[in-house]
Amino acid sequence: MADPRRWIYGGLDAAAAVAYATAIVVALPSRHASAVIHLWSIPVAAAVAAAGMLVGGARGRRIALVGTAAWLAATFLLVVRICVSAAFLAGVYGAFGKAAASGAVVIVALVVELVALLPLVQAKYLMSRAGRRAYAAG
């Protein structure tokens, strides 16, 4: 029996790409070019990972690995940006800034949970023996 995880991860990646893109358009509009590029890199990487998972074969596995790696790199950079903002708030605005910085810690936890877990688990699957076998079969 064929491994269904390839299709499950592909569907989850596609759904995540749509959800992230919708969240960016509806809840996170920005006029800063660096923020726009960074935010849009996450749904684009999710879409690349979905395409690789659904294409199959050795080429699809490589595409999916590139997509998940880009997704994780963008997520890591997002966490760094949030932490830098929190440090700025705490350093400049005193007690009020420290309260805002503690809110930023909660946001980092949510980013890790909502953005980073899927590509982490997917990359683990793609690098495992079962993942290599599933993509070698086509």
Residues sharing a CB contact under 8 Å with residue 20, sequence separation 6 or more, in sequence order = 42, 43, 46, 115
Taken in order 24, 29, 33, 34, the sign of the CA dihedral is negative
Q: Tell me, what's the pLDDT at 78?
A: 95
Q: Tell me, what's the pLDDT at 28?
A: 87
Q: How many helices (H) and strands (E) does the chain have?
A: 6, 0
Summary mean pLDDT of the chain: 93
What residues in the chain have per-residue pLDDT under 70?
1, 137-138
The tens digit of pLDDT for each residue in 69-89 reads: 999 999 999 999 999 999 999
The two tokens of residue 122 are 């997917």
The tens digit of pLDDT for each residue in 49-76 reads: 999 999 989 999 999 999 999 999 999 9
Q: Tell me, what's the pLDDT at 66?
A: 97
b/e per residue 65-76 (b: at least 16 CB within 10 A)? bebbebbbebbe
